[in-house]
Amino acid sequence: MANSWEEIPSELKKVIDVEEENDKKLIEFARRRQGILLAIIASYVPARVSPTRTSPSFVGISEEFGVETVLSRIRSKIPSPDVPVFLLVNSVGGSMSSSYKTSKAIRQCFKDITTYVPHMALSGGTLLALTGNKIVMGTMSQLSALDVQIDRGDGVVVSANALLRSKNKLDAYFSETRVEDAPYSMKAMADSVDPAMMEEYTSAQDTAIDYIAEILAMSGYKNKTSLAKKLVFDLPTHGYVIDYGKAKKLSLKVAPHTEDPEAWQLMRYWLAKYLVRAAGRHFIRCVCPQKALGQSKRAKEETTHGA
């Protein structure tokens, strides 16, 4: 249904990848379940932008405009926020601010969201998954920590937690050892600590907690702040695998894939359609149920007629 998106400015089409699906299997499921299908999928094959350089899919400006576009389209067809949403997420994350903005936009539009993570929703992708009233996970499903990642300026990205923990270890060491008695390596590490950067890292982590707690609150979590702190501070590494069992222990609202086998298999099918298509941005796709669309049109017509 490419014609559905003709109103998108031509310049915007160059930076987003948004379409309404015409796959009969997806359309039939949406019709029977009377729900909106929404997918945010990062391919595992990056786009090649030159013979020597590739561009993987990260949550950023493209996803902000893409999600805004698809949500606007959905609202124009089905204005009611009560229609259930089946949200498929496959992403390795990206910008903290973009992940927050896209997550908040989705959560504000709908009351009943079920998130499906057939494979991985990492970092900012985890925040997208948390927009769901529940997250459906299977054998290979993975969420991750939400600690802030810092580019040191040399192309190496490290967790703000690692930097702050290193500083804390130095504080503990020098609380018991005089500077003149410390080995050169410890003195060199202490001298390399930049107080302004430490404050920047702390502020970034505090900002992450605020963003995460806000999304959790919108998704119905009562323990929003304590859970946000767990996701930011308590996991050993940024890539730590949060599977279904660990997600349960963290008090995330997760459900096993066996709860609704049909929906789970459909989401795996949908993911497979895009998983190895080379792309440098997320595929953003939707399906709107025809019955709800018809009801929406009739409601508009009745309102106009009554006026």
Mean pLDDT, the chain cut into blocks of 10 residues (307 residues total): 62 89 96 97 93 92 96 91 96 96 97 98 98 98 93 78 79 84 81 77 92 98 96 93 98 98 98 96 92 47 44
- Under DSSP, is residue 235 helix (H, G, I), strand (E, B) or coil? coil
**What is the pLDDT, as a whole number, of residue 192?**
77
**What is the pLDDT, as a whole number, of residue 86?**
98
The distance between the two most distant Cα atoms of the chain, rounded to a whole number of Å, is 87
Burial of 46 (0-12, 13-18, 19+ CB in 10 A): middle
Sorted by sequence, the CB contacts under 8 Å of residue 137 that are 6+ apart come out as 117, 143, 243, 244, 247, 254, 255, 256, 257
Burial of 84 (0-12, 13-18, 19+ CB in 10 A): middle
Q: Measuring CA to CA, how many Å separate 39 from each of 22, 150, 165, 303? A: 14, 28, 37, 32
Q: Are 98 and 64 in contact (CB under 8 A)?
A: yes
Burial of 261 (0-12, 13-18, 19+ CB in 10 A): exposed
Q: Are 250 and 227 in contact (CB under 8 A)?
A: yes
State how far the Cα of 170 lies from the Cα of 198, in Å rounded to an integer. 13
**Which residue matches tokens 């932008």?**
49
**Which residue matches tokens 């996701």?**
231
Could you tell me which of 48, 61, 74 has the C-alpha nearest to residue 16? Answer: 61
State how far the Cα of 126 lies from the Cα of 76, in Å rounded to an integer. 28
The full set of domains in the chain, from first to last, is 2-144+241-306 (3.90.226), 147-222 (no CATH)
Q: Which two tokens stand for residue 157?
A: 């990205």
Q: Are 277 and 56 in contact (CB under 8 A)?
A: no
Q: How many Å separate Cα 257 from the centre of its chain? A: 19
